[in-house]
Amino acid sequence: MESWKRTILYMLLFLSCSLTIFAAPSIDRVSYLIRGDFNKVDSLQIKLEDRLDTINTLGLVVLYDGNSFKLEGDWQIEFLKRPTYRMNLAFVFPLNLADLHLGKGLGFTGESFYSTPNRFIWNLNYFFDADKWTYGLGLQHPLYEDTSLIIGVGNNYWDRENKLFFGFKVGL
């Protein structure tokens, strides 16, 4: 077989294998969060996660702040996994739907199992387009097999103020 035919065959095989991963996305986890302080709610957030394999996870955040909807996509690669903690490298892409501005960020997320049922969760992101740092620190307490309560503090790409957040994470 000629080398150019072999190259085309390999490219087609690679393309078909990689597209089958994205052909039928399934939602594996859903997180519902309310952000604000003790006096008022500033935003509502839902995050959909699709675990592609044991290492890669895709996420989509939909945030409503009372005025407009904002989207944030992420791709997390789990690069460190130990019995007491795990860490992910995250590529983050926020999108403001009002002006269709796409941001670009890089960050780390992780969780630590500091007591048997509870998890300490955190994230730290840097956005190159706006020279912004964002963070989140929280506690995830399981309520049932695939359902957890989340309580924490942090900020996001669109709101730099420190806000409390409260919500639930449900595995499907």
CB-based contacts of 141, cutoff 8 Å, min separation 6: 117, 118, 119, 148, 149, 151
Mean pLDDT (10-residue bins), the chain, 172 residues: 59 54 72 89 93 93 90 95 93 86 93 84 95 95 92 92 93 86
**Whole-structure pTM value:** 0.81
Q: What is the pLDDT of residue 83?
A: 87
Q: What is the pLDDT of residue 3?
A: 62
In CATH terms, 26-171 corresponds, of 3.30.1600.10, 3.20.180.10, 3.30.590.20, 2.40.160.40, to 2.40.160.40
Q: What is the pLDDT of residue 99?
A: 81
